[in-house]
Amino acid sequence: MVNLNAITKSQKLKMPDFAPKNRTLPSVYEIEDAVEHVMQMLLGDDVRIGERNSGGVVVMTGAGVSTDSGIPDYRGEQGTYTVNANYKPIYFQEFLARHSFRQRYWARGYLGWGQIHDAKPNSTHLALKSLQDKGYISNLITQNVDRLHLVAGSPEDRVAELHGTLATVECLSCGHKQPRDVFQDVLSELNPEWAAYRHHLKTTHTEPRINPDGDVELPANVSYYDFEIPPCPKCHTGIVKPSVVFFGENIKADVKALTSEWIRQARAILVIGSSLATYSAYRLVKTAHEMGKEVGLVNIGATRGDDIASWKCEVACGEVFPVVTKERVCSGSLIFPLLDKHVVVVGAGVGGVATAARLASQGIKVTVVEKNDFVGGRCSLLYQDGHRFDQGPSLYLMPKIFKETFDDLGHNIEDHIDLLKCERNYRVHFHDGDSIQLSPDLSIMKKEIERYEGEGVEPFLCFLRFIEESHIHYERSVQLALKQNFVYWWHLFRLKYIPDVFRLHLVNTIYGRAKKYFQSKKVRMALTFQTMYMSMSPFEAPANYNLLQYTEFAEGIWYPRGGFNIVPSALAKIAESYGATIRLNCPVKSINTTDRSVTGVTLADGEVIEADAVIANADLVYVYNTLLPPSTYGKRLSDKAKYTSSSISFYWCLDREVPELDVHNIFLAEAYKESFDEIFKDLSLPSDPSFYVNVPSRIDPSSAPPGRDTVVVLVPIGHSRHAIPEDQTEMVKKARQMVIGTITKRLQLPDFSSYVVHETVNDPSTWASRFNLWKGSILGRFDNLFFVGASAHPGTGVPIVLCCAKLVSEQVGQWLGIDVRWSKKVKGANGDTRVPAKRFTFAYYIVTDLMPIALVVLAIVWLLQYICIMSSTPRPQWVS
C-alpha cells in the first residue's frame, strides 16, 4: 500500500517536462497545412479506398477532442490545471483507503454527471466517425471517459476506451456492473437534499465548472460527510467506483493487449488533442515509433511525444477534421476534392439545417446564415425560472421519416435523440366536462369507442376500418406526395395515379369520412381535430390528410428528451461535421439576382456571399416581397396566396403540478364547425375556441422544477389581414380569459388562474417579427433559387419539412450537376455498415406555385370519381 502521507500536492500536480530535446521538424500552425498533413497520412500513397496504402491508421484521442462539447481538457488555455492550480484529482489508493475520500468523489461526481451525460458529440467526433466509415481510420483509441465517440456512432468494436468510461459503475469486490444512470437514481433517493441542489443548479443554469474526469469544483466550505454511498447491489458489501482508470491505477489487461495489437497492425498512428502526459498513452505512441511507423500529432501545446513525432500541427482539432471530411468525399471507390460549388441556405430552421447536412454530405460547400442566435427556427426553446418550453412543435410524429433523414446522412438517430413515448396520445375534453382518451393501446380504445358508439363488435370494427383507411392514406400519400416532386404540370397526369384517386378519397373531407364510420359527434370530433396541426379545417381538408390518425395510433406520439430543439441541433452538428458553416446572428438584407438567376446574398452588415445556388428556408411570400427585387409575381403571391392560420401561444410557469392535465390535452369547442369557420373564413379569434395544452413536464421532468408544471397553450386564430400584424393586445387578453375559463370549468379547478406565476406570450406579431412569417402565418422565378420549409412542397409539419429537405437537396444536386447519393444502413456479416444508396437522376428543379394546376386536375378527378360513386351502392356519406 502506498503511503498516502508521502504523496505531496506538488508531486500529484507536477506536470511532465514536455520541452522537446531534439526536434527536427517545425510545428505547423496553419489550418490548411494541418489538413494537408492529416490527408497525406490518411490517404497514404494512393487515392483509392481499399488499396494497399489507404487506411491502416490508428487514431488516439485525448481531452482536447471533447472541449468543443463543453468538457474541458487538463492543460489547455481553459484546462483544469490552468484555471485551477489547486486542482487535485483523486488517486486510486486514496479512493480505496478512506470513506471520506469516496464521499467527496461521489458527491462531486454526482453533481457533474449530468453535464457529461448531456454532452453531445462535436464536429471532430462526427468527422472521425465519418472517416472510420469510409475506411481511412482502422481503429480509434481514446483516453476520454465521456463515451462521445460511441455516441457519435463510431463502431463499438473499433473503439478502445483506454481509461474506461464514466457511463458504468462497477464493484471492486464482485465485479458487478450497473449503468451510471441507475446508480445516479439511487444516489438521488439516498441524498434528497443533494438531489434538490443538483436540480436547482441545472434549472438556474448555475452548474459549477466540470472537470475532465466528470466531477465538479465546489466551495471549500461544502461538507461531504452526510453524502450516502450505497454498497454493491449484488454482493451488498463491495466498494463501487466508476469504470474508469484512476490516477495510480493500472490499465485493464484486455484493453492493454487490444490496443497493443492495434498499434502492431497499424500503418501509422495519429494523436489528436492529447499531451500524452499519461504513460499508458505515451507507451503506445513510443511503441509505434520504435516499430518505424509514422507518428502524427495534432495538439496545441507541448506533448510528451514531440521528440518522436514524424510531424506535428499546433491547430485546434475542431478546425481541422471537419475540413478533412469536407475536402475528400466518398463516391463509389474514388476520392475527389471538395466540389467547386457553393450553396447558401438562408435560415437555420429544421428545413435549412437538414438541407445543409444533406448537401454537405455530398461534398458541396454550404453556408447557412441565420438571423437569430439559435438554430431550429420555430422549433426552438424558451427558458424561465427553471422551466423549459417548446416554442413551436411538441408532437414527434411519423418517426420513420426522422429515422430516414439520419440514415441518409450515415448516422443512427438513437445516437443523437433520446425519445420518450407518451403512454396516452391525448386527453380530449368536451364542453360538457366529458372527456375521452386516445391511446395506441387498442384495448383502451375499444372501451372508449364503446362508451360513445355502443357495445358489441361492430363499433370497434368501424374504428379499425377507419384506421385501416387512414393507413392506406398514410402509405400512398407518403409515396405519392411527400416523396415526389411535381414540377411541371404534366407530372400530375400519370395513368398509374388514377387508382389512388379513389383510394385517397380526394373529394371527401376528413370529417365526411369520419361521419361514414361513427355515429357519435364526440368521436368524430376527437378523430378529426388533428387538421389543426396542418392549419386546416376538418370540414375542408381532403380525406387523405387523416394519415395523422394512423401514425398516432400505430406508431404513437413521442417526445425528444430535452425538448424538440434537439432535432435541428443534431442536424446542425452533422452538417458541420461534413464541413458546412453555420453563421448565427447574420440577418440577410437581400438575395442578389441577375436576369434569371441568383448570385448570392447580402447580409445586413453589407457583406456579400456569392453562391451557385441559394436555398431559402424562410416563408415564400416574405422572400419574394422582402429579400428579392419587387416583382408582379411577389405582389400576386401576397395578394392572392392562401395563408395558413396563426396562433396565440401562452407559456406558463405553474407553482404546482396539475395532475388533471396529461402530456397532450385537447379542449374542443361545442360549436366545433363554427370555430373553424371563424379561423379560416373570418380570420379571427373564435368566440368559443378549440385549443391545445401541452405539459412537457409530465413526460420529461427536466422541463420544470420539482413539484411544478410547465404548460404551453396554443390557440389557433386567423392570420393577420396585414403584412405587419396589428396590435394583438386585446385579442391576447380575450384568449387568455377564455382558455383559463375553459380549463377552470372543465377540470373543476376554481383556482387555476392563481397557479400561473409567470407568462410569456407569442402572438401573430411575434411570429412575424421573430421568424419572418408573412402576415403571421405559421406555416421559380429564378432558376437557381430553391425553397425549403413549411411554405414549400410538400407542406407543413416537421416530418413533412424533412421530406422537403430531401427533395430540394436532390434538385439542387441535379442543378449543380452532382450525382446525389444517400448513405443507407444495411446489416452485413460483421454488423451494421453503411453503403451508398441508389443515385437520383431527376432533371428538373423545384417550382412552388402549382396550386392552380392542381385545382384543375382535381376538378377532372372529381368528375371521374363522382360518376363512379353515383353508379355504385351503397353510397358514402358526403358532408360539406
pLDDT tens-place string over residues 267-286: 999 999 998 988 899 999 99
Q: What is the pTM of this model?
A: 0.62
What are the tens digits of pLDDT across the range 666-701?
Answer: 999 999 999 888 887 777 788 899 999 999 999 999
Q: Is 163 part of the annotated catalytic residue set?
A: yes
pLDDT at residue 873, rounded to an integer: 30
Q: What single letter denotes the amino acid at residue 321?
A: F
Residue 251: C-alpha distances to residues 5, 161, 166, 628, 759 (Å):
24, 10, 15, 62, 54
Q: Considering only CA atoms, which of 153, 703, 651 is closest in space to residue 420?
A: 703
pLDDT at residue 448, rounded to an integer: 95
Residues 418-446 have a mean pLDDT of 94
What are the tens digits of pLDDT across the range 316-374?
Answer: 888 888 888 765 433 333 333 345 789 999 999 999 999 999 998 888 899 999 999 99
Q: Which of the four CATH numbers 3.30.360.10, 3.40.50.1220, 3.30.870.10, 3.40.50.2300 does domain 1-71+122-163+252-336 have? A: 3.40.50.1220
pLDDT at residue 621, rounded to an integer: 77
Q: What single letter denotes the amino acid at residue 357?
A: A
- Cα–Cα distance for residue pair 460/446, rounded to 1 Å: 6
Break the chain down into helix, strand, coil percent, rounded to 5.
Answer: 40, 20, 40
Cell reading at 851: 396550386
Intra-chain end-to-end CA distance of the chain, in Å: 86
| Three-state secondary-structure class, residue 598 | strand
Asked whether residue 174 is marked as a ligand-binding residue, the answer is yes
Query: Which segments of 273-341 are extended strands (E)?
Result: 294-298, 311-313, 328-331, 334-337
Of the candidates 125, 163, 411, 719, the residue annotated as catalytic is 163
- Cα–Cα distance for residue pair 554/469, rounded to 1 Å: 13
Residues 143-169 have a mean pLDDT of 92
CATH topology of domain 337-375+565-635+779-839: FAD/NAD(P)-binding domain (3.50.50)
pLDDT at residue 650, rounded to an integer: 96
| Three-state secondary-structure class, residue 636 | helix
pLDDT at residue 302, rounded to an integer: 87
pLDDT at residue 352, rounded to an integer: 94
- Cα–Cα distance for residue pair 784/610, rounded to 1 Å: 13
Mean pLDDT lowest among 59-63, 72-76, 459-463? 72-76
The domain ranges of the chain are: 1-71+122-163+252-336, 81-118+165-244, 337-375+565-635+779-839, 441-555+850-870
DSSP 486-525: --SGGGG--GGGHHHHHHTTTTSBHHHHHHHH---HHHHH
- Count of other CB atoms within 10 angstroms of residue 761: 17
Residues 55-72 have a mean pLDDT of 88
- Count of other CB atoms within 10 angstroms of residue 61: 27
Q: Which residues contact 185 (CB under 8 A, 6 or more apart)?
A: none
- Among residues of the chain, what percentage have pLDDT more than 70? 76
| Phi–psi pair at 772, nearest 5 degrees | 55, 45
Q: Considering only CA atoms, which of 605, 596, 607, 604 is closest in space to residue 629?
A: 596
- Cα–Cα distance for residue pair 162/566, rounded to 1 Å: 30
- Cα–Cα distance for residue pair 645/717, rounded to 1 Å: 6
- Cα–Cα distance for residue pair 177/730, rounded to 1 Å: 60
C-alpha 572: how far from chain center: 8
Cell reading at 175: 465485479
Does residue 850 register a pLDDT over 70?
A: no
C-alpha 118: how far from chain center: 13
Strand pairing partners for 797?
A: none
Q: What single letter denotes the amino acid at residue 366?
A: V
Strands 57-61 and 137-142, by their bridges, are: parallel
- Cα–Cα distance for residue pair 664/661, rounded to 1 Å: 8
Mean pLDDT lowest among 13-27, 260-274, 623-637? 13-27
Residues 532-547 have a mean pLDDT of 80
Does residue 188 register a pLDDT over 70?
A: yes
Residues 762-772 have a mean pLDDT of 65
Q: Which residues contact 766 (CB under 8 A, 6 or more apart)?
A: none
Is residue 630 packed enough to be buried (19+ CB in 10 Å), middle (13-18) or exposed (0-12)? exposed
816 or 337, higher pLDDT = 816
Residue 635: C-alpha distances to residues 477, 622, 676, 792, 854 (Å):
32, 11, 28, 18, 21
Strands 664-667 and 426-429, by their bridges, are: parallel
CA dihedral (355, 356, 361, 365) in degrees, to 10, reads 130
Crossing angle (nearest 10°) for helices 798-815 and 399-408 = 30
Does residue 704 register a pLDDT over 70?
A: yes
720 or 223, higher pLDDT = 223
